[in-house]
Structure 1
Amino acid sequence: MITVETYFLDHGLFKSLKTFSDRPANIDHIEGSIELQIDGVTVISREIWDDLNDLWPYLVNAMEDLIIEGKEEVKLSYPDQPIYLYFRKKRGITNRVQIEFSYPETIKYEALLDDLYAAIIGSAEIFFNRMLVLLNSSAETAFYQDELNRVKKIRAYL
């Protein structure tokens, strides 16, 4: 089982996307984390935070490269830190992907491609929808609406 949870960093506390109801203090740099667990193993911890408004689109780009572009390997870095996340399709093994996260120590874990795609794309959709609710002007929400449209395009490939 794969779970992907988003947390906002608010006054030093991690608050779940599901219960966070305040407008982010700085909409240009929304601090928070994305926690990834596979089969109960934490691959990415919520304590590893960065700018969610950049990190979620980076993850969507990675899924787009794997799903639509058919790339075998994708590397992304955290927006403001030297932290790397790799997704590698397993050669010779259908429907498996290796996830490698570089911080604080390198951790590698394998998962079913379809499960990973569904978990990340589903959580991205939840994040972008939530941002549309938390922000209140069309100028602020246009970016998130565009990202949500990309997520829906990727979902159509699943």
Structure 2
Amino acid sequence: MVEMRSLVGDADRGFVPVEEFAGPCPKRGDLESAVVLEANGVTLLDTDMWDSVDLLWALIVRGAHEFRDNGQARIRFPDQPIFVTLRRSGADGVRLDVEWPAGHRSSWATREELLAAVRQGAVTFFELLLELSPPSDWKYREQLRSAQTL
């Protein structure tokens, strides 16, 4: 089982699920929070790996498309030296590796579980951001459409 979700906040104030975030929505790239990724009982990404979460979700969605199309992808966090690598494993599997200066975590999932988790997490996140953002913020709409096509 794979689960991805967004938590908004920081280590000082604490984190809340994105569904509980009521704004205000900062300018693009300034929403520092975390994406949590758990695969088969292993927490790969957590709140210690916070970043500009709107940019991070865009990179995760792009990486998921790349993995779907090519069987591998490497995703770099926008503001931290953290890398997520996705590699095809067997007929329908994916190996997930997270590397950062202090460590490494890895797990395995099915291709469909991973893509469904990315799609669900990203759609939930970008739909909320669109509710809280000015109507002219077309980038979030573009990211939402990209996530929906996974």
TM-score, scaled relative to structure 2: 0.91
Deviation at 1:26, TM superposition (A): 4.4
Structure 1: 4+ residue segments shifted above 3 A: 25-28
Task: Select the residue among 115, 119, 137 that pairs with 2:113.
Answer: 115
Q: Distance in 2 between matches of 1:50 and 1:152?
A: 23
Of the candidates 123, 132, 135, which is equivalent to residue 125 of structure 1? 123
The residue number in structure 2 matching 1:147 is: 143
Following superposition, the deviation at residue 12 of structure 1 comes to 3.0
Match in the other structure for 1:98: 95
Superposed CA offset, 1:34-70 (max 9, x none): 0011122211112210001210000010111122xx2
- 1:6 alignment partner AA: S
AA at the equivalent of 1:145? R
- 2:92 maps to a residue whose letter is N
What residue is the counterpart of 2:60 in the other structure? 59
Residues in 2 aligned to 1:151 and 1:26: alpha-carbon distance in whole angstroms: 21
Deviation at 1:105, TM superposition (A): 1.1
Amino acid in the other structure paired with 2:81: P
Structure 2: gaps of 5 or more residues: none
Match of 1:80?
Answer: 79
TM-superposition CA deviations, 1:81-138 (whole Å, max 9, x none): 1111100001xx1110000001341111111110011011111111110101122x22
Instruction: Give distance in 1, aligned partners of 2:2 and 2:132.
Output: 26
- In 2, distance between residues paired with 1:114 and 1:129? 22
Greater strand percent: which structure? 2
Q: Give me the whole-angstrom Cα distance separating, in 1, the residues matched to 2:107 and 2:92.
A: 14
Within 2, Cα distance between the matches of 1:46 and 1:143?
A: 25
1:23 and 2:24 correspond: yes
Q: How many equivalent residue pairs?
A: 148
Distance 2:32 2:147 in 1: 21
Identity %: 22
